[in-house]
Amino acid sequence: MSRRIVNLSLHRSGTQSFIDMCWRNNLRCLHWPGVGFDLLCRPALASLDTAYIWSMYNYISLGYEAMADLPMPLLFHEAMHQWPDAEFVLVQRKPADWVKSVRRHTRNRRLDVLEKFQYAMILTRPLGNIRDITDADLEFAYTRFNDHVIALARERRVKFSTFQLDDPELGQQIAGFLSFANSEFRQVDRTPAGRSAKASGTA
């Protein structure tokens, strides 16, 4: 494989837009793997077994050059250990904006298995109903997750950079880091097949 680009951002952090950018730079891209993969991950949920999910994702991701969205952020430890030569990206947004987007995205529907896994992992406790989690707790969990990713990237000394979703030069910044010819970062936000609720805001 010529290269492997890994976006470790939590969902609702521009992951669809990032994949769109990679696709327009002629890379083979893997976004959310879909409902079937999500259901296969159900046995890992109770114990938050990232090794179980990694074993399957590492297999299905063969042949892809750019990856983003769930389950990728759940697997940042495994990815940095198993793919030390990959290029790692973390796109952050203001925590309050992320929470607002999460509320819109998850409103009036059941969470997917990997979504439940994500929130249980970053909140460090089992998830009942996300509506019972305060905005302050979600903001803290989001910030803590990003800090953990940054700290591990520094420790492992992988090729890594962080970006801000509201940066007007975001496309140029990402393109510079990844040596992309096309620097356009378009807002893309489509509800993946199999999810009943229409998402809004930035993906």
> What pLDDT does 4 receive?
97
CA neighbor of 116 nearest in space, from 130, 104, 102: 130
What's the CA gap between 192 and 199, in Å, rounded?
A: 9
d(CA 79, CA 84): 8
Strand partners, 29: 66
Per-residue pLDDT of the chain (203 residues; tens, 9 = 90+): 579 999 999 999 999 999 999 999 999 999 999 999 999 999 999 999 999 999 999 999 999 999 999 999 999 999 999 999 999 999 999 999 999 999 999 987 889 999 999 999 999 998 888 989 999 999 999 999 999 999 999 999 999 999 999 999 999 999 999 999 999 999 988 765 444 333 323 33
Look at the domain 5-178 and name its fold.
Rossmann fold (3.40.50)
Distance, in Å, from the CA atom of 65 to the CA atom of 174, rounded to the nearest integer, reads 16
pTM value is 0.91
Would you state the structure tokens that stand for residue 202, as one six-digit string? 């930035």
